[in-house]
Amino acid sequence: MIDKRYVSMMARYNAWQNSQLRDLVKVADAAELHKDRGAFFGSIFGTLNHLLWGDTIWMSRWCSDVPAPDVGIPDSIAFTPDLDVWDTKRFRLDGRMRIWSETLRNVDLSGDLSWHSDALARDVTRPMAVCVAHMFNHQTHHRGQLHAMLSQAGMTPPVSDLFMMSEDV
């Protein structure tokens, strides 16, 4: 289904996308970032927080040095209290994700992953490759929402086309 090269490319893509978002939101008006725009997670900041929360929970399932979030999905919009904390956590997690992807072996993507899902209120087992692919799909899904909300706020969303990512990223 997927292999180490795909995971490494997507981890690089994730870091590139988040770097562009970090640069953009650092100079954005705070009111625009917190304005409820009718998206599933409300605001730009709420969606940024949910994305960081989602990446954190997935990475905690396969990296023992990444602690799981101490809040569930409903509270993921407040995962970090402000933009400075979000920026620091986002930068660090993106770096950890890159290291994980670079040390991953194809065999690590085989087999199943089991965990307790609070969202489903039960234990779940799924193929590891599906879980990893889902993490990257989840990122892309919510960055699409961010793109629309940033446009609504009068900001120019970052370039998101995968083929435009530099090999240097």
Write the DSSP string, 53-80: HHHHHHHHHH-TTSPPPSS-GGGGGGSS
Average confidence (pLDDT) over 141-151:
96
Cα–Cα dist 129/141, whole Å: 18
What pLDDT score was predicted for residue 35? 97
DSSP code, position 160: -
Is residue 167's pLDDT more than 90? no
pLDDT in tens, 47-97: 999 999 999 999 999 999 999 999 999 999 999 999 999 999 999 999 999
The one-letter amino acid at 169: V
When pLDDT is cut at 50, 70 and 90, the band that residue 39 belongs to is very high
What pLDDT score was predicted for residue 135? 98
Question: Comparing C-alpha atoms, which of 30, 31, 10 is closest to residue 143?
Answer: 10
Is residue 168's pLDDT more than 90? no
What pLDDT score was predicted for residue 1? 82
pLDDT in tens, 111-144: 999 999 998 999 999 999 999 999 999 999 999 9
